[in-house]
């Protein structure tokens, strides 16, 4: 598990299932071999207003020779393709969002913050992550995915499809 990159992919606009499949294919072709994938989960929009369409989310584990900087360029390509603007504003509706959760058990502050800073707060990440990598340890806290999920205070319903 220490040589894998874990991605969270998801969106709440358009044909959500088809967009997940398209993004999976992009990552598998352009970044590396997807070796593990969670079920697809539906959750309410985290941190967004009531009435916002729910998200479909999935976690992918990828074996890749790419550096984090190379991966970031590929993610920018995905963002550009789907018209996403990463402008630091609050959470937004989107066709697709791709985040690097973990990069080969390493920590990085730039260009991306890895591990992702909000992992421990988000059940929609932890539940599918625990499904495919229950013993994966956070390189800073030392907690496993399972332990983080048990401590998570996010009460949003995360429903496997």
Q: How many domains does the chain have?
A: 1
- Model confidence over 61-115: pLDDT tens digits? 999 999 999 999 999 999 888 876 655 555 678 889 999 999 998 998 877 788 9
Check which CATH number belongs to the domain holding 21 and give it. Answer: 3.30.70.560
Rounded-to-integer distance, Cα 94 and Cα 28, Å:
21
φ, ψ (nearest 5 deg) of residue 54: -70, 155
> What does the pLDDT look like over 6-52, one tens digit per residue?
999 999 999 999 999 999 999 999 999 999 999 999 998 776 666 78
Q: Is the pTM of this model over 0.85?
A: yes
- The answer to whether 105 touches 140, Cβ cutoff 8 Å, is no
SS3 106: strand
User: In angstroms, how far is CA 24 from the centroid of its own chain?
Assistant: 12
- pLDDT for 152: 96
Domain that holds residue 148: 4-160
Question: Is 148 in contact with 120 (CB distance < 8 Å)?
Answer: yes
Q: What is the pLDDT of residue 87?
A: 55
């Amino acid at each position: 598990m220490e040589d894998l990159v874990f991605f969270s992919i998801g969106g709440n606009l358009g044909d959500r299932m088809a967009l997940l499949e398209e993004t999976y294919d992009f990552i598998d072709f352009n970044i590396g071999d997807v070796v593990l994938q969670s079920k697809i989960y539906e959750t309410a929009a985290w941190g967004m207003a009531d009435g916002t369409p729910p998200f479909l989310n999935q976690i992918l584990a990828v074996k890749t020779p790419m550096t984090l900087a190379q991966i970031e360029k590929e993610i920018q390509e995905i963002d550009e393709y789907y018209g996403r603007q990463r402008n630091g504003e609050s959470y937004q509706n989107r066709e697709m969002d791709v985040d690097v959760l973990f990069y080969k058990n390493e920590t990085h502050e730039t260009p991306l913050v890895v591990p992702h800073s909000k992992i421990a707060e988000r059940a929609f990440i932890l539940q599918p992550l625990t499904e495919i990598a229950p013993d994966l340890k956070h390189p800073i806290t030392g907690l496993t995915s399972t332990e983080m999920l048990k401590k998570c205070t996010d009460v949003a319903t995360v429903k496997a499809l």
